Structure 1
Amino acid sequence: MARCSNVLLGLFNAGVLVLALAVLGGGIWLSHRAATTDCERFLERPVIALGALLLALSLAGLAGSLCRASCLLWLYLVALFLLIALLLVFTAFAFAVTNRGAGAVVSGRGFREYRLGDYSTWLRRRVENRENWAWIRSCLHDGGVCRKLAARRETLQQFATSHLSPIKSGCCKPPTRCNFTYKSETVWIKPLGLNSTDDPDCNTWSNDPSALCYGCQSCKAGVLANLKNDWKKIATVNIIFLIFLIVVYSVGCCAFRNNRRDNSRPAWK
């Protein structure tokens, strides 16, 4: 029974090894495919780094549990403890910075609209940073989010009742409060006598496909709403992953104790 923890830890790490190879292979595939933009290339390094980390952990865990290498198993447990601590901190932080902000319901519309001031100050500062926003704006344009919306060719009634993602609602059309006249999904006519002090977003809007509302506060708010949704999903997955890591860590501690006990026995016995 004492060795069951070693076998169980070996099985856990065999599964992690398969996962690591799949993640690493995906990262290498991303790095060799024909990426045309910086946004497509952005995921390469994090995916490869994650795959390499999981690979190193799984190999150390396998060697420590099955080969009874106490030194490797000790390093494995230290690394696993640090990973659990980092995930706990990140998960708590993710929930803290995403507890604010929600889209406002617009009368007679099937979509919501978003305001920058409704979101976490920490997130707003990161998105509003000039360099960060220039990169995000480039990604939005290169990703063709608004081009896909324009390809719908809907009537005003169809458009008004359609569901729009936060980014499409904030970046691809002017805010409803501007009272623009609808021509198409990405072409709107400004009312006469529009005052520059009324709403900055109303004056920022342009029918130029490369501009649209990419410079609007509503666009940044839409990006924040999208980030908030993604972070909440990641934090939820992290909780499940943390439970798994804590179970593996507990089994690893039992295996380490077994290794020390076995190694302490005289060879002649």
Structure 2
Amino acid sequence: MAFRLSNNLIGILNAVTFLLSIPILGAGIWLGHRADGTECERYLSAPVIALGVFLLVVSIAGLVGACCRVTWLLWVYLLAMFVLIVALFCFTVFAFVVTNRGAGEAVSGRGYKEYRLGDYSNWLQKRVENHKNWNRIRSCLQGSKVCKNLQDKKESVTDFMRSDLSPIESGCCKPPTSCGFTYVSGTDWTKTTATNSSSDPDCNTWSNDALCYDCQSCKAGVVATVKRDWKRTAIVCIVFLVFIIIVYSIGCCAFRNNRRDNAYHGGWKGGYA
């Protein structure tokens, strides 16, 4: 009996997924074993490897199950796809819920915004304020040299004030505007008497050597970045979820075809015998 359309489509899709899983898996292994890799890259390697292995195993199950008519493998494939659909749906809803609060505050005469940790969701605040989590995040920030761009720039105070800084640059690489420090360079500021009158604890935490990596504004900048990235990811997840549901539906058709063919061949052989 000729292959049905659904089996062919599942076979093609899983062949493509299998080919994609190999570079993903290779990238994860490479990130984890780079001699000069940062803490961020090593921490990222585990989920990348897990994603690569998952795609590899699932694509093989779907490919063999659809093309070789192995019904139990196709059942495993559909089960994995169902779990993926549920997980993506839950993550998408969760991402929109925890990112519905908080935004940078515009400052008069500044091209950048200031960030306050208390403006964001409690869940994100607790995650970033956890001592163990923050030590890892701070190590990542320092290892990736997020402030190097500001350190290398030699621009006037007017140009700096007009700069469009990222949330992390604004929160971690410079002191809060409320401190009233005197600008020397992007990461070099002189404390003034205005520091003592400011109620912001970050003013005392700031140091030209350590910058503001231990400041609340830095944590807020990280949370703002996470919020932005999660919202983008959630939108991508919605598109991917629609695609996965379509593939899952095709897989269900292929599974039904396998069962019909197995029943047909079993009945034909039994009748012939």
TM > 0.5: yes
For residues 251 and 37 of structure 1, do their structure 2 counterparts lie closer, same or farther at Cα, with a shift above 3 Å needed?
Answer: same
Deviation at 1:33? 2.8
- Residue 17 (str. 1) matches residue 18 (str. 2): yes
Report the counterpart of residue 85 of structure 2 in structure 1. 84
- Decide which moves more: 79-88 or 189-198: 189-198
Query: Does the 8 Å contact 1:170/1:218 carry over to 2?
Result: yes
What are the within-5 Å matches in structure 2 for residues 52-63 of structure 1? 52-63=53-64
Report the counterpart of residue 221 of structure 1 in structure 2. 220
Deviation at 1:197? 6.4
Report the counterpart of residue 142 of structure 1 in structure 2. 143
Per-residue Cα deviation, 1:116-162 (whole angstroms, up to 9, x for no partner): 11101000000001111111112211211122211011110110001
Q: Aligned residues, how many? A: 267
**Amino acid of the residue matched to residue 233 of structure 1?**
R
Taking the aligned partners of 2:206 and 2:13, their CA distance within structure 1 comes to 54
Query: Does the 8 Å contact 2:182/2:190 carry over to 1?
Result: yes
Per-residue Cα deviation, 1:14-46 (whole angstroms, up to 9, x for no partner): 111111112112222223432343222112121
Report the counterpart of residue 246 of structure 2 in structure 1. 247
- Residue 50 (str. 1) matches residue 35 (str. 2): no
- Decide which moves more: 27-36 or 72-81: 27-36
**Amino acid of the residue matched to residue 110 of structure 2?**
R
For residues 206 and 148 of structure 1, do their structure 2 counterparts lie closer, same or farther at Cα, with a shift above 3 Å needed?
Answer: same
Per-residue Cα deviation, 1:68-87 (whole angstroms, up to 9, x for no partner): 10111111111110111011
TM-score of the superposed pair, with normalisation by structure 2 = 0.93
Deviation at 1:193? 5.9
Query: Does the 8 Å contact 1:174/1:180 carry over to 2?
Result: yes
TM-score of the superposed pair, with normalisation by structure 1 = 0.95
For residues 127 and 196 of structure 1, do their structure 2 counterparts lie closer, same or farther at Cα, with a shift above 3 Å needed?
Answer: farther
Taking the aligned partners of 2:31 and 2:138, their CA distance within structure 1 comes to 22
**Amino acid of the residue matched to residue 177 of structure 1?**
S
Deviation at 1:227? 0.6
Per-residue Cα deviation, 1:76-99 (whole angstroms, up to 9, x for no partner): 111110111011001110111011
Percent identical residues: 61
- Decide which moves more: 32-41 or 82-91: 32-41
What are the within-5 Å matches in structure 2 for residues 125-204 of structure 1? 125-192=126-193, 194-195=195-196, 198-204=199-205
**Amino acid of the residue matched to residue 53 of structure 2?**
A
Query: Does the 8 Å contact 2:104/2:113 carry over to 1?
Result: yes
C-alpha RMSD of the superposition: 1.6
Q: Secondary structure at the match of 2:192?
A: coil
Q: Secondary structure at the match of 1:195?
A: helix
- Decide which moves more: 133-142 or 193-202: 193-202
Report the counterpart of residue 103 of structure 2 in structure 1. 102
